[in-house]
Amino acid sequence: MTQEARSAAKEAGNVAKMKENLPSLDLFEQDALQGFANMAQQDLALPFIRILGQLSPQVNERDAKYVKGAKPGMIYNTVTHELYDGVEGINVIPCYYKREYIEWQDRGEGSGAPVAVHDATSSIINDTTRDTMGKDRLKNGNYLENTASYFVVICKKDAAETALITMKSTQLKASRNWNSMMNGLKLQGKNGLFTPPMFSHVYNLKTVQQSNDKGTWFGWSVSKIGPCTNRAQYEQAKGFADSVQKGAIEAKHSKNDEKSEDTPY
């Protein structure tokens, strides 16, 4: 046997030995959650699910935020950078709904984080004036965005993950339609008709091209699939809804994320 052959055989033996010594799934399960003791919910990033537009940095090959294969109209996860086909859409279980007035400074000013987040019941919207761009301006120069937030569980074949979908401006119509769809559900129970929990059904969210006199963009189209038939996903959605309601999970809005959409006012 030549020296090269002996070296190749030795290397193959080392690889086989390494594979034999790899940790098993049983070991991973045995040591589950170790190392996470000091990690709280506020230490995690809740993904935002965005629609990519023509001006999104993810579709620009010269931009540092470019994502290979990204195209306008696709759906994008801001944390995992996963792309979804906008025509096929994504299946989600809506868990919790919240509408707020988010106060922003103009792009390029400030930190990119909201100046303040006002509850939908606030009267602050009455203190605004609509400017020429259709933005509701406060006297301090900041503007308010009427924002509908949906805390959801994204359903996949072999897994599910939590995320946040926001709808504002031109997408508030889609939001109202989705709300009516969910609120209009009625099931026959032993005590008569009842409205099931928000997280009882699965919905498909696709993207469609929309336009007005200010431009063309991609928006949301929502359709109902049917009742949730996966017990594990249902329990996950229920737990997620409970955590959001108790204030354990908060949405961290950022203009850096908003740049992935180019919806005109």
pLDDT digits (tens, 9 = 90+) for 151-179: 999 998 878 999 999 999 999 999 999 99
Residue 231 in domain: yes
Please state the domain count of the chain.
Answer: 1
Backbone dihedral angles phi then psi of residue 40, each to the nearest 5 degrees: -105, 175
In terms of residue numbers, what domain contains 176?
58-95+154-258
Q: Is residue 51 part of a domain?
A: no
Looking at 103-107, 120-124, 261-265, which range is the least confident one?
261-265
pLDDT tens for 41-57 read 555 569 999 999 999 99
Does residue 162 fall inside a structural domain? yes
Looking at residue 9, what is its pLDDT?
54
pTM for the model stands at 0.82
Q: Is residue 101 part of a domain?
A: no
Within-domain flag for 84? yes
Is residue 170 assigned to a domain? yes
Cβ(97)–Cβ(149) below 8 Å: yes
Number of other residues whose CB lies within 10 A of the CB of residue 245 = 13
Q: Is residue 220 packed enough to be buried (19+ CB in 10 Å), middle (13-18) or exposed (0-12)?
A: buried
Q: Is residue 199 assigned to a domain?
A: yes
Q: Is residue 174 part of a domain?
A: yes
